[in-house]
Structure 1
Amino acid sequence: MNYGQVYYNDVANGIGCRTALFVSGCTHHCKGCFNEMTWDFNYGVPYTKEVEDDIVESLKPEYIAGLTILGGEPMEVVNQKEIKPLIERIKREVPKATIWIYSGYLWEELTDPDNKRCHSEDTDAILSMTDVLVDGEFMLDKKNLMLRFRGSENQRVIDVKATLEKGEVVLSKYNDKDTSRL
């Protein structure tokens, strides 16, 4: 897996001060994508053990809320092979850290074992360790700057733990509009 950037002390991609990992590779190719260069799976630099060590260390200070994984597309099957062990390590070494994932795939696609485009042997484990999933492709015709943590109205901010418990999608309390800009 390659990645384009790691942002430390990011406050735009989830609640609190976070580390954000922008992975490379995306097959969605959404019109108006803010990060088009990351569509290429070869963009950026290789993800290494040293990078993982840095990410894990960055999550340890009390003021860091967690890790956000976005891109590109973290839930491309090839990327899931690296994402799963990263999250497993974080859950072991920094259990206070929340995990947010941004994916163009819908929850229903990710949890469908017959959907080989995005469901792999790693998907269920990744989702079980994820706190919030922002799902759905960015749609330029549904772009709305008043939304929190998402770019278009079709996207959902999902409370993954509650969704898994209930067996149906439960929207996060962060699925509302950003009224601070009114």
Structure 2
Amino acid sequence: MQRERRSGIVLNTAFPKELRIAGTIQDSIVDGPGIRYVIFTQGCPHHCPGCHNPQTHDFAGGHIADVEQILESIRQNPLLSGVTFSGGEPFCQAEALVPVAEAVKAMHKHLMIYTGYLYEQLLKMEEPGVQRLLKLADVLVDGPFLMAERNLTLQYRGSENQRVIDLAKTRAAGEIILYKSEYDEL
């Protein structure tokens, strides 16, 4: 598997338009608000100790996704509130995920992305796919998982250092605004 480091991000350069995944979950209720379709990308440079998905670290693991089949599964489930990109590290395959994200947004679905990078690091990356994917996302859970800050009571995140960022409000305000789910008020 060819990999290249540019702008601080490890990219899958062997198949930049193919999406390599570890798997999917068609009806998660823990990976974002509402009922979610979750795509677990394959390959992660972070290797966080205590990672919930260590089987997703190997860039040569998993399989090439049938993106049309994934999108058809999403289209066929009217109960889905949105889609979550998890991993692995989704931003290592940003270019391949952009068309998926565009299709998800065309279906008027909420898009949430988990990343081990900080939002500020992603903003500095010059890869067009990274910036396009960030613009399509509604919510970003950023930061590496830190075992020393592990907290099982946190919503949508595993450790205290991670943030759940409302990207639309963050862009509008010019500062980080944390996400508040409509379900928080229940």
1:39 alignment partner in structure 2: 57
Matches within 5 A, 1:17-166: 17-47=35-65, 51-60=66-75, 61-76=77-92, 79-92=93-106, 94=107, 96-113=108-125, 119-166=126-173
1:56-79 superposed Cα distances (whole Å, 9 cap, x missing partner): 223333310111000100012xx1
> Where does structure 1 differ by over 4 angstroms across 4 or more consecutive aligned residues?
none
> What residue identity is the alignment partner of 1:4?
A
State the alpha-carbon separation in 2 of the partners of residues 6 and 13 from structure 1: 12
State the alpha-carbon separation in 1 of the partners of residues 46 and 102 from structure 2: 26
Kept after mapping to 2: 8 A contact 1:3/1:45: yes
Name the TM-score, length of structure 2 as normaliser: 0.83
1:116 alignment partner in structure 2: none
State the alpha-carbon separation in 1 of the partners of residues 95 and 151 from structure 2: 33
Is residue 16 from structure 1 mapped to residue 34 from structure 2 by the alignment?
A: yes
State the alpha-carbon separation in 2 of the partners of residues 161 and 109 from structure 1: 18
Name the TM-score, length of structure 1 as normaliser: 0.85
State the alpha-carbon separation in 1 of the partners of residues 45 and 110 from structure 2: 26
Q: CA deviation at 1:81?
A: 1.5
| SS of residue in 2 equivalent to 1:6 | strand
State the alpha-carbon separation in 2 of the partners of residues 166 and 59 from structure 1: 32
Kept after mapping to 2: 8 A contact 1:8/1:20: yes
Gaps in structure 2 of 5+ consecutive residues: 1-18
Aligned residues: 165
Kept after mapping to 2: 8 A contact 1:59/1:97: no
Gaps in structure 1 of 5+ consecutive residues: 114-118
State the alpha-carbon separation in 1 of the partners of residues 124 and 161 from structure 2: 20
| SS of residue in 2 equivalent to 1:123 | helix
| SS of residue in 2 equivalent to 1:91 | helix
After TM superposition, the structure 1 stretch with the greater mean CA deviation from structure 2, 157-166 or 57-66, is: 57-66
| SS of residue in 2 equivalent to 1:138 | coil
Percent identical among aligned pairs is 38
Q: CA deviation at 1:44?
A: 1.0
Q: CA deviation at 1:171?
A: 0.4
Q: How big is the alpha-carbon RMSD for the aligned residues of Structure 1 and Structure 2?
A: 1.8
